[in-house]
Amino acid sequence: TTTLNNSYGSAVTVTGAGFLLNDEMDDLASAPGKPNMYGLVQGDSNAIQPGKRPLSAMTPSFVVDENGRLLLVVGTPGGPRIITMVYHVISNVLDHRMSLADAVSAPRLHHQGLPNIIRIERGGVSPAVIAQLEKMGHQISVAGYTGDVEAIIRTPTGWQGVSDPRYGGGGAGY
């Protein structure tokens, strides 16, 4: 994956090169204990220091089979939601035996610790379940979409690419 972090990154381009610079400095804790643009609250261990690499949720994932052969590749943008989305797809394929297309398009939810809110994709959980979670004291946020997963899986006849139907794009295979 490549990342700009916020839309258009730092909004600064490299003269003559035609690409944007990222704003990954937001992944360091400029104010420990205060939320960044994604609502993540970080501590002193991720404070800005010379030469320090920021914590990041970038999770380009490669899954190999029992023989060590590449089976599945998954990646997505989405800040702190990346890890959750990649997990959902891998678990849906391996644990729940979903097709890759079904796994990528399945509803998602996310919780990142702080803020203490469960983010649920619209239509992903029934209103009755949401009401029960709220009755138990959980704070719920219903989101319009969660992520833009791209994935590739090895099949018996070749490779299949799947693009998240929540966004434009497409997969191809050979």
> pLDDT tens digits, residue range 60-75?
899 999 999 999 999 9
Give the pLDDT of residue 28: 83
**What does the block give as tokens for 109?**
């939810």
Where does the pLDDT of residue 2 fall: very low under 50, low under 70, confident under 90, or very high at 90 and above? low
Using CA atoms of 37, 109, 86, 43 in order, give the dihedral in degrees to the nearest 10: 40
Q: Is the pLDDT of residue 1 over 60?
A: no
More confident residue, 167 or 74: 74
Q: Is the pLDDT of residue 139 over 70?
A: yes
Q: How far apart are CA 174 and CA 160, in angstroms?
A: 7
Eight-class DSSP state of 54: P
Query: Of the candidates 65, 100, 122, 98, which has an alpha carbon nearest to the alpha carbon of residue 171?
Result: 100
Q: How far is CA 77 from CA 11, 26, 44, in A?
A: 18, 16, 26
Structural domains of the chain ordered from first start: 1-56 (no CATH), 61-163 (3.60.20.40)
